[in-house]
Amino acid sequence: MALRLGDTVPNFTQDSSEGTINFYDWAGDSWVILFSHPKDFTPVCTTELGTVAKLKPEFDKRNVKVLALSVDDVNSHTGWIGDIEETQSTKLNYPILADPDRKVSDLYDMIHPNANNTLTVRSVFVIDPQKKLRLTFTYPASTGRNFDEILRVVDSLQLTDDHSVATPANWTDGGDCVVVPSISTEDAKKKFPKGVTELKPYLRMTPQPNK
């Protein structure tokens, strides 16, 4: 059964390029980005793994751990990591799960038979510290993932968890936010001292409250 937003994601214990990982223990109280790859030694995924390695300081600042998955074994991963580091000019600084038995792929519904009945699709799962699924992306094999967008989503989720706002289209950190409908304009003006602009009774904007 497919995971849906708000579901508690399943735990698993699986080998990785950095040793055996029990997912819940490894995640701890961090957010997690779990992202899957069809198999090792694929060109688009090689660029993605290198990009995430370079962005890891940005994920660290947001209390996010990153975890890749590919259906090949640890020995294969070791060879691939060498290629990634050589071609992407970076050190791989996070683990790649080995999933030759497809255990995690099946748990997280990463195999879509109409796309390919043996290989994982290229999925992204954003998981919060309570192990709740907060967002999913699924990309075709031909399109590399936009990890700046994934960072933007994490910024939005963390902001909106802590403040009574939502983020509008194309929002980036520091931009104006939407006041959630459950707060009256009168209460919003008290709650958001930077000001509230009422465009419509249901559409109120306020500067980002934590900036």
pLDDT tens-digit series, residues 11-38 = 999 999 999 999 999 999 999 999 999 8
Tell me whether residue 45 is one of the annotated catalytic residues: yes
pLDDT tens-digit series, residues 25-84 = 999 999 999 999 988 999 999 999 999 999 999 999 999 999 999 999 999 999 999 999
Q: Which domains does the chain have, with CATH numbers?
A: 13-145 (3.40.30.10), 163-206 (3.30.1020.10)
pTM (two decimals): 0.93
Indicate which residue of 45, 66, 104, 133 is catalytic: 45
Which pair of tokens denotes residue 85? 């580091």
